[in-house]
Chain A
Amino acid sequence: MTSAIVVSGLHKSYGSTHALDGLDLDVATGEVHGFLGPNGAGKSTTIRVLLGLLKGDEGDVSLLGGDPWRDAATLHRRLAYVPGDVNLWPNLTGGEVIDLLGRLRGGLDPKKRDDLLRRFDLDPTKKGRTYSKGNRQKVALVAALASDVELLILDEPTSGLDPLMEEVFRQCIEDERQRDRTVLLSSHILSKVEALCDRISIIRKGKVVETGTLADLRHLTRTSIQAELAASPNGLAQLPGVHALDVQGNRVRCEVDTAQLDAVMRQLSASGIRSLVAQPPTLEELFLRHYEDDTIASEPEVAVR
């Protein structure tokens, strides 16, 4: 299998801030790759280097077989990009922006454009300054998805979308996967991308710390459970995979490794479940737990920079 994006040992500093600190990333052709990390981890910086907008200080970057810094314009005809912060020209309409970006990229499919406008429920006649954040994002998404390109680079594309539109977006990405397009999808929320992605890379402080399929990364996902029971719970503490257990009378809070979820639910329902909230922890929480354990166990806290 060939790779659409190969990054190795990428460094990038702004003054004394090391935004990227030896980043490695490998995105195979035809896969949907999740690029995950908390805010400020270096996701957008990496993407800007991939687009040739920034020049890396050190390391090798290859995009669609070319050098994104040297061959920027040629490579850009084969990809589409949706920035995290979409700003539009105040007096151009959404439709005009979609067409302009499409044409500058080398053309877009008018049928697909109309179809996407309908699916995203976007009015293309409104002026840029009158769109809300979510609608500006839709403009950029329609422009990108209506282009006939090999690679989509999407930087937090759903951050302004409502749940209904997130669902539309998911379907669109599913369609792209069917067409064997490569997609790099950045996000700081694991649950938003885990169902979409073939593989995931997790970035923290300018380095990719985990990469693999979701199954490979199962050990990272825990579900946080809040339950109110009919009787006080028993035996929970003895179960493997239960963390941060907090029992107050009939109320239980805990974090459960996904692999142990079934056993824990049985145990809970044995006491009679009155109410239950289960949610995936945020990446930040995951990092805190996962890596704090690591650093405490293996090495004394060393200043990262």
Chain B
Amino acid sequence: MKDFAGTKTLVRLALRRDRVLIPLWIVVFAGMAASSAQASIELYPDVQSRVEAAETANSSPALVSLYGRIWDPTSLGELSLFKLTSFGALLVGLLAAMLVVRHTRTEEETGRLELLSAGVIGRYAAVTAALLVSGLTVVLVGLLTALSLIGVGLPAAGSLAFGLTWISGGLAFAGIAAVIAQLTEGARTANGLVAIVLGISYVLRALGDSAADGSTQWASWLTPIGWAQQIRPFASDRFAVALLPLALLAVLVFAAFALLRRRDVGAGLVRPRPGPAVAAAWLRSPLALAWRLQRGALYGWTFAFLLLGFLVGNIASNVDGFVSSESAKEMIQKLGGVQEITDAFLSTEMGVMGLLASAFGIQAALRLRSEETALRAEPLLATGITRTSWLASHVVMALSGTGILILAGGLGSGISSGAELGNMGRQVPPMLAAAAVQLPAIWIVTALVVLLFGLAPKLVTGAWVLFGFFLLIGQFGPLFDPPDAVMDISPYAHTPRLPGSDFSATPVIWLTATAAVLLLTGATTFRRRDIG
């Protein structure tokens, strides 16, 4: 038991540190589910309108791969919440994992855990406390969400099953993060690895859902996100499926403990090797340094985008095999035929890739602030480089990095659909174009980071909030039928939907110009402010 000594103290410390963050997230998640359900209930008053909407959703490869299937077309609960079932489990999983890393590896890397470890703190206390705090948060998110769904009038069993879906995703990823946090020395790397596992899980789930009958449906059962979704809330309410993520959590906790026993405080499992004693000849400018610092992340993201592109292209080329029932085929004809549906699918997926690439852009530009607060910018700015050239180095990495990512996604999908259809030349160029038009909106979001960095550096992470807001009004805005002006706030709303519709240069030019203005304002204000 002495290995767990001090767990209670660490739990209290973590709750004290996150006393705003955790309640906020619980309310955001429960509110998101409840408001989404409320809006759908008003939108689909009778069974017939629900069945129609559900069948439309099920015959759209874009929706099915993004969110999953609707198993029971008559179910009001499922229709209102299918967009939040596996997607929500992904978000709750992300929250749970970030909480675990935040209270384990981050504490260890900064040396704060060492300070505490000198007190009466057992070997397993930090991990256990982090898991307890993360688990508590996730369970509260699930419970409060279930209660709020019952509150807006959805069936109690289904509401509880829905809450359990999110809890499943959250607990499984808390366990995954607990193991990953033992492997790397840097919290940044740990968070990156968690994001990769989450991404792969979601993509495998999409693969399982998008499968033509019987082919790759097994992929749904490979990952925690798939399991969470297979609880099928409001359709069959299979509570027992939640035993899978629980069992995984138990295994992962023991694995994390076993890893902990084998390593020193502060160390990872991989021992850092000595590096070069002399810097490479090219490491002689701020841009070279930014490249050196960010290239690892860029390699990983580019690989992920290529894979994602391949997967998307593969699904797109099989749209006609996607639906088997006669009624669904009719539905497709009604929606404009196979070509139309394929294009709609591809442009939706390109939009999603645009959102993902934006996350890279934000993260890459935020390096400016983390370099400043870690006091690593100061010695650089005390050398012969100008502030502008230092700022530009990370901005160039962010802007060109997002370009590389989105083009990799376009290239991957063009190649894989071209290979399936036997015509590269006709598939690759339009997909590259569809990728390229995403860039101005991505750059605006990246430029917002730079603007905040210059104007209000303490608020710079607010860029994530703006991004989350754009994402929410894009994905869920239409449910509430807001005025156009609200929808138009999001830069993504102005991106031409390629392939499938006509290209219009006007929005692209306006978006690019806006990004340029934001960047210049950020750079100018940064030149005039204090460092630190």
A residues sitting closer than 8 Å to B (CB atoms) are 48, 51-55, 72-74, 76-77, 79, 81, 83, 85-93, 95-101, 103-106, 123-127, 129-130, 140, 153
Query: By the criterion CB–CB under 8 Å, are A89 and B293 in contact?
Result: yes
Contact (Cβ within 8 A) A95 B278:
yes
* Chain B residue, CB-CB nearest to A12: B530
Nearest-Cβ distance from residue A272 to partner chain B, whole angstroms: 45
The chain A residue with its CB closest to the CB of B389 is A73
Establish whether residues B277 and A93, one from each chain, have CB atoms under 8 Å apart when the complex forms. yes
A93 to B272, CA, bound (A): 11
Q: Does chain A have a CB within 8 A of B199?
A: no
- Whose C-beta in chain A lies nearest to the C-beta of B188? A90
CB of B378 within 8 A of CB of A83, answer yes
Min CB–CB distance A56 → chain B (angstroms): 10
Query: B381 interface residue, CB < 8 Å from A?
Result: yes
| Complex partner residue of A72 from B378, B387, B528, CB under 8 angstroms | B387
Whether B532 pairs with A53 at a CB distance below 8 angstroms is yes
User: In the bound complex, do residue A53 and residue B381 qualify as a contact, i.e. CB atoms below 8 Å apart?
Assistant: yes
Interface hit among B24-32, B97-105, B279-287: B279-287
Are B380 and A104 interface neighbours, CB within 8 A?
A: yes
**With A87-B376, A92-B292, A93-B276: A73-B384 Cβ-Cβ less than 8 Å:** yes
Separation in Å of the A291 CB from the closest CB of chain B?
29
Q: Closest residue of chain B to A103, judged by CB?
A: B284
B276 touches A125 (CB 8 A): yes
Q: CB < 8 Å: which of A83, A85, A86, A125 contacts B277?
A: A125
Query: From A125, which residue of chain B is reached at the shortest CB distance?
Result: B274
The answer to whether B196 has its CB under 8 Å from any CB of chain A is no
Q: Pull 12 A–B residue pairs with CB atoms less than 8 Å apart, ordered by A.
A: A53-B378, A53-B381, A72-B386, A73-B385, A79-B382, A87-B375, A95-B276, A95-B278, A98-B279, A104-B285, A127-B272, A153-B382
Nearest CB of B to A14, in Å: 9
**Pair B375/A124 contact, Cβ less than 8 Å:** no
A74-B530 CB under 8 A given contacts A93-B277, A95-B277, A129-B186? no
A85–B286 Cα distance when bound, in Å, is: 21
Q: How far is the CB of A204 from chain B (nearest CB, A)?
A: 22
B349 at the interface (CB under 8 A from A): no
Cβ A129 vs Cβ B185 within 8 A:
yes
Give, as a whole number of angstroms, the nearest-CB distance from A301 to chain B.
Answer: 32
Question: 7 new A-B pairs (CB below 8 Å) besides A76-B383, A96-B279?
Answer: A53-B382, A54-B531, A83-B382, A89-B376, A96-B276, A100-B284, A126-B274
- By a CB distance below 8 angstroms, the chain A residues around B505 are none
Interfacial chain B residues near A48, Cβ < 8 Å: 378, 531-532
The interface residues of chain A lying within 8 Å CB-to-CB of B285 are 104
CA distance A90 to B105 in the complex (A): 14
Chain A residue contacts of B384, Cβ below 8 A: 73-74, 76-77, 104-106
**Inter-chain contact B275/A127, CB cutoff 8 Å:** yes
Q: What's the nearest-Cβ distance from chain B to residue A154, in Å?
A: 12
Task: Looking at the assembled complex, report how far the CB atom of A95 sits from the nearest CB atom of chain B, in whole angstroms.
Answer: 4
B136: interface (CB < 8 Å): no
The reply to whether the CB of B1 lies closer than 8 angstroms to some CB of chain A is no
Instruction: Please give, as numbers and ranges, the residues of chain A lying within 8 Å of B279 by CB-CB distance.
Output: 95-100, 103
Q: Which residues does chain A contribute within 8 Å of B531, judged by CB atoms?
A: 48, 53-54
Q: Is B436 an interface residue (CB 8 A)?
A: no
CB distance from A11 to the nearest CB of B (A): 14
Query: Are B186 and A96 touching (Cβ within 8 A)?
Result: no
- The A-B contact count (CB < 8 A) is 112
Report the minimum CB–CB distance from A10 to chain B (whole Å). 14
How many residues on B have C-beta within 8 angstroms of the other chain's C-beta atoms?
35
Closest-CB distance, B109 to chain A (whole angstroms)? 8
B374 at interface (Cβ–Cβ under 8 A)? Answer: yes
Chain B residues in 8 Å Cβ range of A87: 374-376
On chain A, the residues within 8 Å of B214 by CB distance are none
Distance in angstroms between the alpha carbons of A104 and B374 in the assembled complex? 19
B272 with A54: CB separation less than 8 A:
no
- For the complex, what is the distance from the CA of A129 to the CA of B387, rounded to whole Å? 26
What chain A residues lie within 8 Å of B185 (beta carbons)? Answer: 90, 129
CB distance from A100 to the nearest CB of B (A): 5
Interface centre among B274, B279, B386, B528 (most CB of A within 10 A): B279
Output the residue of B185, B286, B381 with the most chain A CB within 10 A.
B381
Instruction: Decide if B15 is an interface residue (CB 8 Å cutoff).
Output: no
List the A side residues contacting B219 at CB < 8 Å: none
Q: Is the CB of B379 within 8 A of A101?
A: yes
User: Is B396's beta carbon under 8 Å from chain A?
Assistant: no
Q: How many Å lie between the Cα of A51 and that of B377 in the bound state?
A: 13
With both chains docked as a complex, state the minimum distance between the C-beta of B398 and any C-beta of chain A, in angstroms. Answer: 18
Residue of B at shortest CB range from A73?
A: B386
Pairs of residues from A and B, 3 with the lowest C-beta to C-beta distance, nearest first: A99-B279, A125-B274, A104-B383
- Separation of A67 and B227 alpha carbons in the complex (Å): 64
Residue of A nearest to B278 (CB): A95
- Cβ contacts under 8 Å, A153 to chain B: 382
- Asked if residues B277 and A81 are in contact (CB atoms below 8 Å), the reply is no
Distance, CA A124 to CA B276, complexed state (A): 8
Query: Is A124 within 8 A of B277, CB to CB?
Result: yes
Residue B289 is within 8 A (CB to CB) of chain A in the complex: yes
Most chain B C-beta atoms within 10 Å of own C-beta, residue among A100, A105, A123, A126: A100
> In this complex, what residue of A is CB-closest to B380?
A104
Q: B530–A83 contact, CB under 8 A?
A: no
Beyond A48-B532, A55-B530, whether A104 also contacts B292 by CB under 8 A is no
Whether B275 and A96, one on each chain, are in contact in the complex, defined by CB atoms closer than 8 angstroms, is: yes
Residue from the list A54, A89, A92 in contact with B532, Cβ < 8 A: A54
* B293: A residues at CB distance < 8 A: 89, 91
Inside 8 A of B381's CB, which chain A residues have their CB? 51-53, 72
Residues of B within 8 A of A104 (CB): 284-286, 380, 383-385
Taken together as a complex, chains A and B put the C-alpha atoms of A181 and B129 apart, in Å, by 55
Say whether B289 contacts A100, CB under 8 Å. yes
The chain B residue with its CB closest to the CB of A147 is B383
Chain B residue at minimum C-beta to C-beta distance from A49: B530
Chain B residues 148 to 191 lying within 8 A of chain A, measured CB to CB, are: 185-186
Q: Which residues of B contact A93 (CB under 8 A)?
A: 274-277
Chain B residue numbers with a CB within 8 Å of A72 are 381, 386-387
